[in-house]
């Protein structure tokens, strides 16, 4: 806040005297300057927020992801034992990339499909010798396998390795300069080399460095020279072998349980987890026959720029209207995350009351969307207790004692009571999006959010989670089960020196790097002033390529959630050039886009084709409804 207030004033003299005053204030420590009572705050309008129970949707991955059509990738789950490693990391990867798949324990069923993933590992107990022979025959006759951590000597020849060495101190990974199709999307330096963990930690994630057999090709190697990704051609088919687990290089990063693998915190391009999603996507597209993929972006577009503003100061409300005007003039919109501060404390006075609430009503009425940015915006939020879940506006009295410390504050309180206030204060508002103050994330955040009726969060940075795709937040940031909350991490923010106004070209560079991958970019601009930052946002929107959607976070998040929960199948008809795409959505969704390997000649039922004839955009699907589109390929 200190930084922010100073930035607001251009006059340097004023800046210095203000900085001095604030420094004195900061040095006063806990000796509060403002009165620590709530006498000033008038009673606000609230709307009750029911406390929901946690719903465990699925425990059986076979039921959740059944075999349905030939184009699906078969996931053979190798670890169903008493302490099974959950397929969640692979499920995240395939769903985010829109690759159709099913999960099975039946090897013959798996081998009926052209593409097979063995997950999470293969040791001497996984397969019998006849099954190993079955796998080898499958590949020889034109099957494709992607596996990770194969340890069994019985499959050495098939996977093309002589030996392997497990280790916890390999820190870097470099993709070789080969022309193999699975590295097709890895064209940038940040993608060609990634970091698995910070050198500050001598021991990080487990990796298995392979020694390749003659004939096998090394596609990526670790810093000790051993092979990280191998490929081996056998007969008509080909296998790929990864010496890492997607649990460690995808889900661990998304959960922020990584060993500080990120190379930047924010405002840079960090695809450390995305490279594995892109390898799987490229593998599917290289070897899937007449493949079809559910695209990440609606409307046949290439990428999306998701705009947001944090309103966390008493004078940040009015400039919000300027940003909304700029966005409207550029056919864009944004989500405003509002600090609903109704108590005075050591950090600031209360400011969530009229006329500020009236400004929020205007923003909402003008087409902007609104999310919560907590109540006291504490930098110690990540250390707060969960709370009881019964915190309400009438009883919850949190107070910041300094930036990092607070009394009477809980995670539930910050999440629920801010929703009570926003939903009560703004007509038609149902707050479902949250962003933590200072992007500090407590481990109980997914639980507090889902039990308070939220659906979306944006409290991480994309660099920190090493991913630029939205993802489901696992419960308790574990590895077993997703919560109901989807995460949209922040890519670009405005406060890092030298300030957003001077970083527009850099921001555009990151946005374009993400666009190449079909990923999204989330922009956060504090609305504490709108002259410099408004001009910068205008410039960013003006320079944005036309095939990048510019939209508010809530609109895109609603799309993404429906996309993630979509059921779809592709069935071949008796006519060789005709297929039927069946789509069923539990939620209303517009702009769903499918990408096709084969160019399309005609489509039915209100679907539209892109000029390249390889993207099909669906008409809006009503909740609980199915649509069937008949597609004729060009001959
Ligand atoms: Zn903030």
Reported as a pLDDT band with limits 50, 70 and 90, residue 137 is: very high
Whose CA is closest to 464, among 438, 484, 503, 498? 438
Centroid of ligand 1 to alpha carbon of 438 (angstroms):
5
pLDDT in tens, 585-620: 999 999 999 999 999 999 998 899 999 999 999 999
d(CA 331, CA 542): 10
Q: Residue 381 and residue 310: Cα distance in Å, rounded?
A: 16
- Give the separation between CA 33 and CA 348, rounded to whole angstroms: 9
Beta bridge partners of 457: 434, 487
> From ligand 1's centre to the CA of 164, what distance in Å?
47
The pLDDT of residue 85 is 85
pLDDT score for 83? 73
Q: Could you tell me the distance, in angstroms and rounded to a whole number, from the CA of residue 323 to the centre of ligand 1?
A: 17
The answer to whether residue 144 scores a pLDDT higher than 80 is: yes
What are the tens digits of pLDDT across the range 534-583?
999 999 999 999 999 999 999 999 999 999 999 999 999 999 999 999 99
Q: How far is the CA of 437 from the centre of ligand 1 (A)?
A: 4
Mean pLDDT of all residues belonging to the chain: 93
Kindly give the distance from the C-alpha atom of residue 431 to the centroid of ligand 1, in angstroms, as a whole number: 17
Count CB atoms within 10 A of the CB of residue 624. Answer: 10
320 C-alpha to ligand 1 centroid (Å):
14
pLDDT tens digits along 339-362 = 999 999 999 999 999 999 999 999
Specify the DSSP element, H or E, that contains 321. helix 318-329
d(CA 5, ligand 1 centre) in Å: 13
The pair of structure tokens assigned to 199 is 């050198």
The Å distance, Cα 564 to ligand 1 centre, comes to 29
Residue 81, pLDDT score = 66
**How close is the Cα of 81 to the center of ligand 1, in Å?**
45
Q: What percent of the chain has pLDDT over 90?
A: 90
| CB distance 291 to 71 below 8 Å | yes
Contact 415, 317 (CB under 8 A): no
Cα separation, 522 vs 570, whole angstroms: 32
Q: String of b and e for 44-60 (b: at least 16 CB within 10 Å)? A: bebbebeeeeeeeeeee
Instruction: Check whether 13 has a pLDDT greater than 50.
Output: no
CA 373 to centroid of ligand 1, rounded, Å = 7
pLDDT for 178 equals 83
Per-residue pLDDT band for 12 (boundaries 50, 70, 90) equals very low
Per-residue pLDDT band for 503 (boundaries 50, 70, 90) equals: very high
User: Tokens in use for 258?
Assistant: 């990584």
On whether the pTM is more than 0.85, the answer is yes
Q: What phi, psi does 528 have (nearest 5°)?
A: -75, -20
The residue with greater pLDDT, 58 or 420, is: 420
Q: For residues 491 and 522, is the Cβ–Cβ distance under 8 A?
A: yes
CA 39 to chain centre: 42
Return the exposure string of 350-359: e unless at least 16 CB atoms fall within 10 Å of the residue's CB, then b: bbbbeebbeb
* Confidence at residue 30, expressed as pLDDT on a 0 to 100 scale: 34
Report the separation in Å between the CA atom of 426 and the middle of ligand 1, taken as the mean of its atom positions: 20
pLDDT, tens digit (0-9, with 9 covering 90-100), for 450-478: 999 999 999 999 999 999 999 999 999 99
Instruction: State the DSSP string of 205-220.
Output: S-EEEEEEPTT-EEEE
In whole angstroms, what is the distance from residue 135 CA to residue 116 CA?
10
Contacts of 380 (CB under 8 A, 6+ apart): 403, 404, 405, 406, 440
**Contact in structure between 483 and 474 (CB atoms under 8 Å):** yes
Instruction: Using the mean position of ligand 1's atoms as its centre, give its distance from the Cα of residue 266 in Å.
Output: 15
Q: What is the pLDDT of residue 38?
A: 44
Q: φ and ψ at 76, to 5 degrees?
A: -90, 110
Ligand 1 centroid from CA 329, angstroms: 26
Q: What is the pLDDT of residue 543?
A: 97
Please report the pLDDT score of residue 635 as a whole number: 83
pLDDT digits (tens, 9 = 90+) for 231-254: 999 999 999 999 999 999 999 999
Q: Are 373 and 437 in contact (CB under 8 A)?
A: yes
Q: What is the pLDDT of residues 115-128, one digit of tens each?
A: 999 999 999 999 99
Confidence class for position 60, pLDDT limits 50, 70, 90: confident
Ligand 1 midpoint to CA 526 (Å): 8
- Whether 509 has a pLDDT exceeding 50, the answer reads yes
Does the pLDDT of residue 444 top 90, yes or no?
Answer: yes
Q: What is the pLDDT of residue 18?
A: 41
| Eight-state DSSP code of residue 34 | S
3-class secondary-structure state, position 371: strand
Q: How far is the CA of 237 from the centre of ligand 1 (A)?
A: 53
Pick from 380, 366, 374, 364: nearest CA to 310: 374
Contact predicate 68/569, CB 8 Å: yes
pLDDT digits (tens, 9 = 90+) for 366-390: 999 999 999 999 999 999 999 999 9
pLDDT in tens, 158-185: 999 999 999 999 999 999 988 999 999 9
Which of 116, 125, 119 has the alpha carbon at shortest distance from 154?
Answer: 125
d(CA 607, CA 419): 38
Average pLDDT over residues 402-413: 96
Closest C-alpha to 60, from 118, 96, 102:
102
* pLDDT, tens digit, 9 for 90 and up, residues 357-372: 999 999 999 999 999 9
What does the alpha-carbon distance between residue 239 and residue 625 come to, in Å, rounded to a whole number?
Answer: 39
Give me the sign of the Cα torsion angle 243, 147, 246, 517: positive
């Amino acid at each position: 806040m200190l930084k922010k207030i100073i930035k607001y004033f251009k006059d340097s003299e004023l800046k210095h005297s203000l900085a001095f005053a604030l420094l004195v204030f900061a040095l006063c420590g806990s000796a509060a300057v403002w009165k620590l009572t709530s006498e000033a705050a008038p009673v606000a309008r609230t709307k009750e927020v029911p406390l929901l129970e946690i719903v465990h949707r699925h425990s059986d991955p076979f039921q959740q992801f059944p075999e349905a059509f030939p184009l699906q990738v078969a996931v053979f789950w190798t670890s169903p034992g008493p302490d099974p490693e959950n397929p969640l990391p692979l499920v995240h990867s395939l769903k985010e990339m829109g690759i159709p798949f099913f999960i099975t324990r039946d090897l013959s069923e798996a081998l009926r499909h052209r593409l097979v993933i063995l997950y999470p590992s293969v040791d001497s107990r996984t397969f019998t010798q006849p099954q190993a022979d079955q796998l080898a025959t499958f590949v020889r006759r034109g099957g494709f396998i992607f596996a990770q951590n194969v340890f069994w000597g019985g499959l050495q020849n098939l996977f093309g390795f002589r030996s392997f060495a497990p280790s916890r101190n390999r820190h870097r990974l470099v993709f070789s300069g080969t022309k193999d199709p699975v590295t097709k999307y890895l064209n940038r330096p940040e993608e060609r080399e990634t970091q698995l963990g910070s050198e500050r930690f001598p021991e990080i994630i487990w990796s298995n460095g392979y020694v390749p057999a003659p004939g096998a090709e090394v596609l990526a190697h670790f810093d000790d020279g051993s092979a990280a990704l191998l490929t081996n051609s056998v007969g008509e088919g080909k296998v790929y072998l990864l010496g890492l687990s997607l649990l460690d290089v995808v889900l661990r990063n998304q959960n922020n349980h990584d060993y500080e693998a990120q190379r930047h915190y924010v405002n840079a391009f960090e695809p450390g987890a995305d490279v594995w999603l892109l390898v799987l996507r490229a593998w599917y597209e290289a070897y899937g026959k007449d493949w079809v993929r559910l695209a990440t972006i609606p409307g046949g577009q290439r990428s999306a720029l998701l705009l947001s503003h944090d309103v966390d100061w008493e004078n940040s409300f009015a400039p919000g209207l300027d940003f909304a005007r700029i966005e409207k003039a550029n056919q864009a919109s944004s989500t405003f995350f509002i600090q609903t501060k109704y108590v005075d404390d050591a950090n600031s006075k209360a400011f969530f009351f009229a006329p500020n609430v009236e400004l929020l009503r205007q923003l909402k009425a003008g087409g902007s969307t609104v999310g919560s940015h907590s109540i006291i915006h504490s930098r110690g939020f990540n250390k707060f207790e969960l709370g009881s879940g019964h915190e309400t506006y009438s009883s919850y009295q949190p107070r910041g004692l300094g930036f990092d410390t607070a009394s009477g504050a809980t995670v539930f309180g910050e999440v629920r009571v801010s929703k009570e206030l926003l939903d009560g204060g703004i007509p038609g508002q149902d707050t479902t999006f949250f962003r933590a103050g200072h992007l500090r994330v407590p481990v109980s955040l997914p639980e507090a959010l889902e039990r308070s009726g939220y659906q979306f969060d944006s409290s991480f940075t994309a660099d920190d989670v090493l991913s630029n795709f939205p993802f489901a937040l696992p419960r308790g940031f574990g590895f077993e089960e997703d919560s109901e909350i989807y995460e949209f991490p922040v890519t670009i923010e405005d406060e890092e020196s030298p300030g957003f106004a001077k970083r527009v070209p850099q921001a555009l560079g990151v946005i374009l790097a993400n666009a190449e991958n079909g990923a999204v970019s989330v922009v956060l601009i504090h609305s504490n002033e709108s002259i410099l930052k408004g001009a910068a946002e205008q410039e960013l929107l003006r320079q944005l390529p036309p095939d990048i959607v510019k939209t508010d976070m809530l609109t895109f998040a609603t799309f993404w959630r429906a996309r993630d929960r979509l059921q779809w199948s592709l069935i071949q008809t008796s006519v060789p050039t005709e297929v039927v795409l069946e789509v069923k959505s539990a939620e209303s969704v517009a702009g769903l886009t499918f990408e096709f390997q084969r160019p399309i000649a005609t489509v039915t039922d209100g679907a539209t084709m892109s000029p390249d004839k390889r993207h099909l955009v669906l008409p809006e699907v009503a909740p609980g409804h199915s649509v069937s589109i008949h597609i004729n390929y060009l001959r």
